[in-house]
Chain A
Amino acid sequence: MTLKAYSVIFAALLISLFIWAAVEAASFQRLASYFPLYISIFGAILNTYILILELKARSNSKELNETSGGPKEYILYMSWFTGYFVAIYLVGMVAASMLFLFFFLRYESKQSLLFTIISMTLVALLLIGFSHMMNLNYPKSLFPILEI
């Protein structure tokens, strides 16, 4: 898909968002509605103008991925990030960070085992240390037995 196609889709999604927000805002109490309502209407009008310009503009055949890395790379790294968030949900922040660091540094960055283990140890110490010293809270594990 070309950059232009993505731009048109993005502008269309924004219009939908503004229209939905305007409809939703109209149902609020009067004092709570006028601010989001007028913002949404104004946004929808301006966005429609942008969408028309995008449609009229000469076709920009540049692929989205030409601007930077390829789609495979984006999907790969977004998957790494998603995996990290899923791990946090399952095993909690500290354990998930250790797992993420281990697999990422070993298999994506191709780091040595020693470097990976030192990094994991330091991060674990810092996470636990900061948690105690600065009263930081971390997401808990879905399974309390796995909580560090």
Chain B
Amino acid sequence: MIYLNAFLVAGTICLLGQLLVDVFKLTPGHVTSYFVVVGALLDSFSLYDRLIDFAGAGALVPITSFGHSLLHGALAKAEEMGFFGIAMGMFDLTASGITSAIIFAFLVAVFFKPKG
């Protein structure tokens, strides 16, 4: 069942993204940014956590989960450290994603040449 849920949830998120690009003429940069913000907003009242329980990777793989992780990390650290924890914990959960993006981008740039 979770496979179907994953398919439906991730598919719906991608459909929204495609509509933003085609109908509202937004650039891929806009869409990515909006999705991060929406994911962060949905972390309120643990809405996004419930979506993850429901759809698994269907909610974890799209970029919305990045926004969710940003806020999640920030709030967790804030509970522990107070106000400054927001800044300290912001990238806790997303550190591995950001680091691997940088490393893989570096490796690809070193070993491959674009064909144009």
A complexed with B: no
